Chains A and B, each alone.
Chain A
Amino acid sequence: MDRFTRFHTLLLREWMQHRTGWLVLMALPTLLMLGLSLLDGQGLAVDGDNEVHIGQLSQQPLVLQTLGWSVATAGLALLLVGLTVLAQLPGLARRDHQDRSIEFWRSLPISHVQGSGATVLMHLLLLPAAVVTAALLGAQLVALLFIVLHHGPLAWLQQPWGLLLPSLLLGALRLWLGLLLGVLWLSPLLLLTMAASAWLKRWAVPVVVAASMLGTFWLDKRLPVPLVGPAFRRIGTEALYALLAPDLFDGPRRLMQGDMLTAVQGLPGALIQDILRVLASAATPAFLVALAGGALGFALLVLRRQRTE
């Protein structure tokens, strides 16, 4: 039996254990946006300067409506899955200890690296990717229903798909890449918190928070060059940019105020530029340091699993 079969089975285990909650999480953004799309006369603030009513959204160019629903649904999915992962993270490392099933898993020919790795990969990467992908697909259904509701069935088909499809596909690619890089940037915080939970149980989060604050507000003042605070800021900034692509949010304003056709035509190019920019930020020593921190957290997780009594 090869390692891939075992690892795949361990990923399957995660799905079997959590699939009900994960299916709800995958469907929720689409369902919420569907509900929102059926409202009329309600206000929705796009940014600080412009307030867009849903009713007004139906008067915008169709391509903007489709893109708008896609961005909103994906953004909501990202928020929901991020909150879910952060809420579950501290408990994941000790999940199998509570019902003692860790002894069952340790009685099987699974390496500790595979056992811990499958959990980390599934919860930190594959689940968010699945939720965001489901949201992007669901958003097309929301856009379809919204457009049909306000403009009739043929209107959806008559959109400039030659312009829209590249934007949607590149947007999906940017999202997946952003997820991967965002998680990798955050990996020291995520995996060291998991490791702390494995070793310190309920004291993990307080200890991690206390250690972070101690490092930022006490240690940094005593070092010749502050390290902890700038490291947190760098990790946070890079992860945020990877996940949210703030530069691209200039787009909706450009789309609404400028020449819509030019803006949409430029969107795939802007997305490619952003993909290259976020890849370039990963080709830095800071990224390697972040990966090293994540690797340390993972190693501590594996060591704890190895030493479980």
Chain B
Amino acid sequence: MQALIEARGLHLHYGRKKALDDLSFAVQPGRVVGLLGHNGAGKTTLMKALVGLHAAEGTLSVLGRNPCRDRVALLEHLAYIPDVAVLPRWARVSQLVTLMAGLHPKFSADRARALIRRTSVGLDDTVKHLSKGMVVQVHLALVAAIDARLMILDEPTLGLDVLSRKAFYEMLVDEWCDGERSVVISTHQVEEIENLLSDVLMLNEGRLVLSLSLEDIDRRFVALGHDPAAADAIAAAHPLLRYRVQGGSAALFDGAPPPEVAALGRRLRPSLVDLFVALTRRPEINRTQGL
């Protein structure tokens, strides 16, 4: 099956700063990919490169197209939210539906209206009179009404309350993910979407530090919960991260720890948050801040 996104050796510079540094990854159909990284790690830059708004060096194919050369044709088959608070403030919601219907060939005005009716926003409301959360709801409803093969979402739930975020994730899983379409979603609320994700891409200072499915993450990384008495022995095995858990301490290893170390604790499921901290925190902090 051909990948929906294929990237090899991607580089992108802003002047002398390296925004993307030798990225290589693939996104298969039917996957929900979490794009994680600190502020300034390169998530937005990568997403803009995927939709042809930034020209990156290297090889990049999205839905079989070169994003920069075939940007308009690509965007006809793709739904993209760059940043949720960017709807034109002068527009009424109904006008946005009309404009989207005239600009995007895969947009369904009826579906958009149905999705908007599920929110607290009226079709006659003007964007400038909506709260930030309402603007987000409208934008998500508009994008969800696009019958696209690939959805690229940059912090889509920023500004939404927990109920609205939950409703969005449910809509994503129930109505969008059909085994053929894929989603690439960047977010800081890692814990909330961990159960939705099938794959993870982690960026740190422009570099891809992890590109794995969640199943492979479970197989590769081992978290070991242990008593304080075993702390020194655990530390001597050079885990990626040592952290607190309820009732004690834990350590995260890349690969299986030595059997004598494994025997000192009990195996836990590593959370994405802990993995994220382990792989993107500076190494000297990892070594010096022991628990």
Q: Is B95's CB under 8 angstroms from A107's CB? A: no
How many Cβ-Cβ contacts under 8 Å join chain A to chain B?
66
Chain B residue at smallest Cβ distance from A1:
B105
Name the interface residues of A117-165: CB closer than 8 Å to any CB of B: none
Collect the chain A residues with CB atoms within 8 Å of residue B75's CB.
107-109
Q: Is B103's CB under 8 angstroms from A9's CB? A: yes
**Residues 83-108 of chain B, each 1 if its beta carbon lies under 8 Å from chain A, else 0:** 10111111100010011101111000
Q: Is B105's CB under 8 angstroms from A109's CB? A: yes
How far is the CB of B202 from the nearest CB of chain A, in Å? 24
Stretch of A11-19, A178-186, A252-260 lying at the B interface: A11-19
Q: Is B89's CB under 8 angstroms from A101's CB? A: yes
Name the interface residues of A80-120: CB closer than 8 Å to any CB of B: 96, 99-104, 106-111
Instruction: Say yes or no: A6-B102 contact (C-beta < 8 A), given A107-B51, A107-B75.
Output: yes
Q: Is A100's CB under 8 angstroms from B85's CB? A: yes
Q: Does A5 make an interface contact (CB < 8 A)?
A: yes
How far is the CB of A14 from the nearest CB of chain B, in Å? 11
Q: Does A277 make an interface contact (CB < 8 A)?
A: no
Chain A residue at smallest Cβ distance from B100:
A108
Q: Does A8 make an interface contact (CB < 8 A)?
A: yes
Collect the chain B residues with CB atoms within 8 Å of residue A103's CB.
82-83, 86
Instruction: Say yes or no: A6-B103 contact (C-beta < 8 A), given A100-B83, A109-B72.
Output: yes
Q: Does B76 make an interface contact (CB < 8 A)?
A: yes
Q: Is A101's CB under 8 angstroms from B72's CB? A: no
Q: Is B86's CB under 8 angstroms from A104's CB? A: yes
Q: Is B99's CB under 8 angstroms from A16's CB? A: yes
Q: Is A12's CB under 8 angstroms from B102's CB? A: yes
Q: Does B167 make an interface contact (CB < 8 A)?
A: no
Instruction: Say yes or no: A110-B86 contact (C-beta < 8 A), given A8-B102, A16-B91, A17-B91.
Output: no
Q: Is A108's CB under 8 angstroms from B86's CB? A: no
How far is the CB of A88 from the nearest CB of chain B, in Å? 14
Name the interface residues of B120-145: CB closer than 8 Å to any CB of A: 139
Instruction: Say yes or no: A104-B102 contact (C-beta < 8 A), given A109-B73, A109-B76, A110-B72.
Output: no
Q: State the interface size on chain B (CB cutoff 8 A).
A: 28
Instruction: Say yes or no: A101-B99 contact (C-beta < 8 A), given A107-B81, A107-B82, A110-B72.
Output: no
Q: Does B291 make an interface contact (CB < 8 A)?
A: no
Q: Does B171 make an interface contact (CB < 8 A)?
A: no
A152 to B139, CA, bound (A): 59
Q: Which of A99, A107, A109, A110 contacts B88 (CB 8 A)?
A: A99
A2 to B89, CA, bound (A): 27
Q: Does B253 make an interface contact (CB < 8 A)?
A: no
Chain B residue at smallest Cβ distance from A110:
B103
Chain B residue at smallest Cβ distance from A2:
B105
Collect the chain B residues with CB atoms within 8 Å of residue A8's CB.
102
- Of A102, A106, A109, most buried by chain B (CB within 10 Å of CB) is A109
Q: Which of B80, B82, B99, B104 contacts A12 (CB 8 A)?
A: B99
A137 to B222, CA, bound (A): 80
Q: Does B53 make an interface contact (CB < 8 A)?
A: yes
Instruction: Say yes or no: A108-B95 contact (C-beta < 8 A), given A96-B88, A100-B83, A101-B86.
Output: no
Q: Is B82's CB under 8 angstroms from A104's CB? A: yes
A175 to B51, CA, bound (A): 44
Collect the chain B residues with CB atoms within 8 Å of residue A13's CB.
99
Collect the chain B residues with CB atoms within 8 Å of residue A104's CB.
82, 86-88, 139
Instruction: Say yes or no: A9-B99 contact (C-beta < 8 A), given A104-B87, A104-B88.
Output: yes
A-B contact pairs, 15 of them (CB 8 A): A6-B103, A9-B103, A12-B102, A16-B95, A100-B83, A103-B83, A104-B87, A104-B139, A107-B75, A107-B80, A108-B75, A108-B103, A109-B72, A109-B73, A109-B75
B residues with CB within 8 A of A: 51, 53, 71-76, 80-83, 85-91, 95, 98-100, 102-105, 139
A residues with CB within 8 A of B: 1, 5-6, 8-10, 12-13, 16-17, 96, 99-104, 106-111
Pick the 4 closest A-B CB pairs, nearest first: A9-B102, A109-B75, A1-B105, A101-B88
